[in-house]
Amino acid sequence: MTWFGRDKSRSVSAEEALPGRAEPLVTPDFHAVFPDRRIKPPFPEGLRTAVFGLGCFWGAERLFWQTSGVYSTAVGYAGGHTPNPTYEEVCSGLTGHTEAVLVVFDPAQVSYEQLLKVFWEGHDPTQGMRQGNDVGTQYRSAAYYVDEAQRTELEASRATFESALKSAGHGTITTEVAPLGEFYYAEDYHQQYLHKVPNGYCGLGGTGVSCPIGLGVTES
Protein backbone atom coordinates (compact mmCIF):
# COMPACT_ATOMS: atom_id res chain seq x y z
CA MET A 1 0.00 0.00 0.00
CA THR A 2 1.43 3.36 -0.96
CA TRP A 3 1.88 6.03 1.70
CA PHE A 4 2.15 8.92 -0.71
CA GLY A 5 -0.78 10.78 -2.24
CA ARG A 6 -3.13 9.25 0.30
CA ASP A 7 -5.78 11.30 2.11
CA LYS A 8 -4.47 11.22 5.69
CA SER A 9 -7.76 12.58 7.02
CA ARG A 10 -9.52 9.33 6.09
CA SER A 11 -9.71 6.59 8.71
CA VAL A 12 -8.34 3.17 7.80
CA SER A 13 -9.94 -0.19 8.50
CA ALA A 14 -8.19 -3.00 10.34
CA GLU A 15 -7.69 -4.73 7.00
CA GLU A 16 -5.96 -1.65 5.52
CA ALA A 17 -3.77 -0.93 8.54
CA LEU A 18 -0.04 -1.56 8.71
CA PRO A 19 0.92 -4.83 10.44
CA GLY A 20 3.16 -3.29 13.10
CA ARG A 21 5.27 -5.55 15.29
CA ALA A 22 4.98 -7.84 18.28
CA GLU A 23 7.71 -6.18 20.36
CA PRO A 24 7.12 -2.80 22.05
CA LEU A 25 9.35 0.12 21.11
CA VAL A 26 12.26 0.81 23.45
CA THR A 27 11.15 3.56 25.82
CA PRO A 28 12.27 4.86 29.24
CA ASP A 29 10.67 3.72 32.49
CA PHE A 30 10.90 7.07 34.27
CA HIS A 31 9.66 10.63 33.68
CA ALA A 32 12.17 13.27 32.52
CA VAL A 33 10.51 16.02 34.59
CA PHE A 34 9.87 13.85 37.65
CA PRO A 35 12.82 11.41 37.56
CA ASP A 36 11.61 9.35 40.52
CA ARG A 37 8.20 8.69 38.94
CA ARG A 38 7.47 5.88 36.50
CA ILE A 39 5.69 6.42 33.19
CA LYS A 40 4.88 2.70 32.97
CA PRO A 41 3.15 0.39 35.43
CA PRO A 42 3.40 -0.46 38.21
CA PHE A 43 2.24 2.84 39.65
CA PRO A 44 1.78 3.60 43.37
CA GLU A 45 -1.38 2.26 44.95
CA GLY A 46 -4.43 4.50 44.70
CA LEU A 47 -3.46 6.27 41.50
CA ARG A 48 -5.67 6.15 38.42
CA THR A 49 -5.11 6.61 34.69
CA ALA A 50 -6.80 8.49 31.86
CA VAL A 51 -5.98 8.74 28.15
CA PHE A 52 -6.63 11.79 25.97
CA GLY A 53 -5.83 12.87 22.41
CA LEU A 54 -5.83 16.59 21.67
CA GLY A 55 -3.55 17.14 18.71
CA CYS A 56 0.25 17.00 18.71
CA PHE A 57 1.15 15.12 21.86
CA TRP A 58 4.19 17.26 22.74
CA GLY A 59 2.18 20.23 23.97
CA ALA A 60 -0.67 18.06 25.19
CA GLU A 61 1.61 16.13 27.53
CA ARG A 62 3.07 19.30 29.02
CA LEU A 63 -0.42 20.62 29.66
CA PHE A 64 -1.13 17.61 31.87
CA TRP A 65 2.22 17.25 33.66
CA GLN A 66 1.78 20.90 34.72
CA THR A 67 -1.65 20.10 36.20
CA SER A 68 -1.69 19.84 39.99
CA GLY A 69 -2.48 16.32 41.19
CA VAL A 70 -1.05 14.61 38.10
CA TYR A 71 1.62 12.13 39.16
CA SER A 72 3.07 11.20 35.78
CA THR A 73 2.46 11.39 32.03
CA ALA A 74 3.57 9.63 28.86
CA VAL A 75 2.90 10.01 25.16
CA GLY A 76 1.89 7.27 22.81
CA TYR A 77 -0.56 6.00 20.26
CA ALA A 78 -4.12 4.81 20.84
CA GLY A 79 -7.44 4.19 19.14
CA GLY A 80 -6.08 2.38 16.09
CA HIS A 81 -5.21 -1.06 14.78
CA THR A 82 -1.43 -1.37 14.32
CA PRO A 83 0.41 -2.94 17.28
CA ASN A 84 3.50 -1.11 18.54
CA PRO A 85 3.63 1.45 15.69
CA THR A 86 6.46 3.85 15.03
CA TYR A 87 5.91 7.60 14.80
CA GLU A 88 6.49 7.48 11.04
CA GLU A 89 3.86 4.78 10.66
CA VAL A 90 1.32 6.77 12.69
CA CYS A 91 2.05 9.88 10.60
CA SER A 92 1.32 7.87 7.44
CA GLY A 93 -2.33 7.63 8.47
CA LEU A 94 -2.18 3.86 8.02
CA THR A 95 -2.37 2.76 11.65
CA GLY A 96 -5.68 4.29 12.74
CA HIS A 97 -4.02 5.65 15.89
CA THR A 98 -4.18 9.16 17.26
CA GLU A 99 -1.39 10.82 19.22
CA ALA A 100 -2.37 10.36 22.85
CA VAL A 101 -1.32 11.21 26.39
CA LEU A 102 -1.47 8.78 29.29
CA VAL A 103 -2.22 10.71 32.48
CA VAL A 104 -1.51 9.07 35.84
CA PHE A 105 -3.25 11.01 38.58
CA ASP A 106 -4.08 11.00 42.27
CA PRO A 107 -7.90 11.21 42.60
CA ALA A 108 -7.46 12.61 46.11
CA GLN A 109 -5.79 15.68 44.57
CA VAL A 110 -7.41 16.05 41.14
CA SER A 111 -10.62 14.44 39.89
CA TYR A 112 -11.20 12.89 36.49
CA GLU A 113 -13.82 15.59 35.95
CA GLN A 114 -11.18 18.27 36.51
CA LEU A 115 -8.89 16.54 34.00
CA LEU A 116 -11.76 16.63 31.51
CA LYS A 117 -11.92 20.39 31.95
CA VAL A 118 -8.20 20.61 31.12
CA PHE A 119 -8.79 18.36 28.11
CA TRP A 120 -11.78 20.23 26.67
CA GLU A 121 -10.32 23.71 27.20
CA GLY A 122 -6.85 22.75 25.96
CA HIS A 123 -7.81 22.22 22.32
CA ASP A 124 -10.59 22.71 19.78
CA PRO A 125 -12.67 19.51 19.80
CA THR A 126 -14.76 20.54 16.78
CA GLN A 127 -12.12 20.19 14.05
CA GLY A 128 -12.47 16.56 13.00
CA MET A 129 -9.27 14.97 11.69
CA ARG A 130 -7.05 17.91 12.50
CA GLN A 131 -5.95 20.36 15.15
CA GLY A 132 -5.05 23.76 13.80
CA ASN A 133 -2.49 23.41 11.02
CA ASP A 134 -1.83 19.77 11.92
CA VAL A 135 -3.96 17.66 9.58
CA GLY A 136 -4.47 13.90 9.68
CA THR A 137 -6.18 11.16 11.65
CA GLN A 138 -3.35 11.14 14.20
CA TYR A 139 -4.36 14.66 15.30
CA ARG A 140 -8.03 13.90 15.97
CA SER A 141 -9.57 14.72 19.31
CA ALA A 142 -10.18 11.61 21.41
CA ALA A 143 -10.90 10.52 24.95
CA TYR A 144 -10.67 6.86 25.90
CA TYR A 145 -12.33 5.72 29.11
CA VAL A 146 -11.02 2.91 31.31
CA ASP A 147 -14.29 2.11 33.11
CA GLU A 148 -17.97 2.95 33.19
CA ALA A 149 -17.52 5.71 35.74
CA GLN A 150 -15.18 7.54 33.37
CA ARG A 151 -17.53 6.93 30.47
CA THR A 152 -20.43 8.52 32.34
CA GLU A 153 -18.42 11.59 33.36
CA LEU A 154 -16.91 11.92 29.90
CA GLU A 155 -20.23 11.82 28.06
CA ALA A 156 -21.84 14.25 30.52
CA SER A 157 -18.97 16.72 30.18
CA ARG A 158 -19.09 16.44 26.39
CA ALA A 159 -22.77 17.38 26.36
CA THR A 160 -22.19 20.29 28.73
CA PHE A 161 -19.19 21.66 26.86
CA GLU A 162 -20.85 21.26 23.47
CA SER A 163 -23.70 23.42 24.69
CA ALA A 164 -21.20 26.06 25.84
CA LEU A 165 -19.34 25.88 22.52
CA LYS A 166 -22.51 26.31 20.47
CA SER A 167 -23.55 29.27 22.58
CA ALA A 168 -20.20 30.84 21.69
CA GLY A 169 -20.69 30.20 17.97
CA HIS A 170 -18.64 27.04 17.57
CA GLY A 171 -19.66 23.81 15.86
CA THR A 172 -20.42 20.28 17.01
CA ILE A 173 -17.85 18.30 19.00
CA THR A 174 -16.16 15.64 16.86
CA THR A 175 -14.19 14.01 19.67
CA GLU A 176 -13.90 10.24 19.48
CA VAL A 177 -15.21 8.74 22.72
CA ALA A 178 -14.47 5.03 23.13
CA PRO A 179 -13.23 2.42 25.59
CA LEU A 180 -9.45 2.32 25.86
CA GLY A 181 -7.89 -0.51 23.94
CA GLU A 182 -4.11 -0.69 23.99
CA PHE A 183 -1.94 2.34 24.71
CA TYR A 184 1.36 2.02 22.84
CA TYR A 185 4.22 4.09 24.21
CA ALA A 186 5.89 6.44 21.73
CA GLU A 187 9.63 6.57 21.14
CA ASP A 188 12.01 7.88 23.81
CA TYR A 189 12.61 11.25 22.15
CA HIS A 190 8.88 12.08 22.21
CA GLN A 191 8.53 11.52 25.95
CA GLN A 192 8.37 14.88 27.77
CA TYR A 193 9.61 16.46 24.54
CA LEU A 194 8.98 20.08 25.51
CA HIS A 195 10.99 19.59 28.70
CA LYS A 196 13.93 18.33 26.64
CA VAL A 197 13.40 20.92 23.88
CA PRO A 198 11.84 23.96 25.64
CA ASN A 199 11.51 25.96 22.42
CA GLY A 200 10.08 23.04 20.45
CA TYR A 201 6.87 23.10 18.46
CA CYS A 202 3.61 23.27 20.37
CA GLY A 203 0.46 23.37 18.28
CA LEU A 204 -1.90 23.39 21.25
CA GLY A 205 -4.71 25.93 21.13
CA GLY A 206 -8.15 26.06 22.70
CA THR A 207 -11.37 27.81 21.79
CA GLY A 208 -11.34 30.26 24.67
CA VAL A 209 -14.63 28.76 25.90
CA SER A 210 -14.71 27.70 29.56
CA CYS A 211 -15.89 24.18 30.31
CA PRO A 212 -18.24 24.06 33.31
CA ILE A 213 -17.49 21.14 35.64
CA GLY A 214 -19.92 19.57 38.04
CA LEU A 215 -22.77 20.50 35.70
CA GLY A 216 -23.02 17.39 33.56
CA VAL A 217 -26.48 16.56 32.23
CA THR A 218 -27.72 13.11 33.22
CA GLU A 219 -30.93 11.28 32.49
CA SER A 220 -33.13 10.56 35.49
Pick the catalytic residue: 56, 91, 202, 211? 56
**Phi, psi (rounded to 5 degrees) for 76:** -170, -160
Q: What backbone torsions phi and psi does residue 109 show, to the nearest 5 degrees?
A: -110, -30
List Cβ neighbours of 36 (8 Å cut-off, separation of 6 or more). Answer: 30
CA 165 to chain centre: 20
pLDDT of residue 213: 77
Per-residue pLDDT of the chain (220 residues; tens, 9 = 90+): 445 556 888 999 999 999 999 999 999 999 999 999 999 999 999 999 999 999 999 999 999 999 999 999 999 999 999 999 999 999 999 999 999 999 999 999 999 999 999 999 999 999 999 999 999 999 999 999 999 999 999 999 999 999 999 999 999 999 999 999 999 999 999 999 999 999 999 999 999 999 987 544 433 3
- Number of C-alpha atoms within 13 angstroms, CB side, residue 54? 30
> Partners of 185 in the beta sheet?
76
pLDDT the model gives residue 80: 98
56 a catalytic residue? yes
Domain boundaries, the chain: 48-196
Which pLDDT belongs to residue 34?
98
- Which pTM does this prediction carry? 0.94
CATH number of 48-196: 3.30.1060.10
Residue 7: per-residue pLDDT: 84
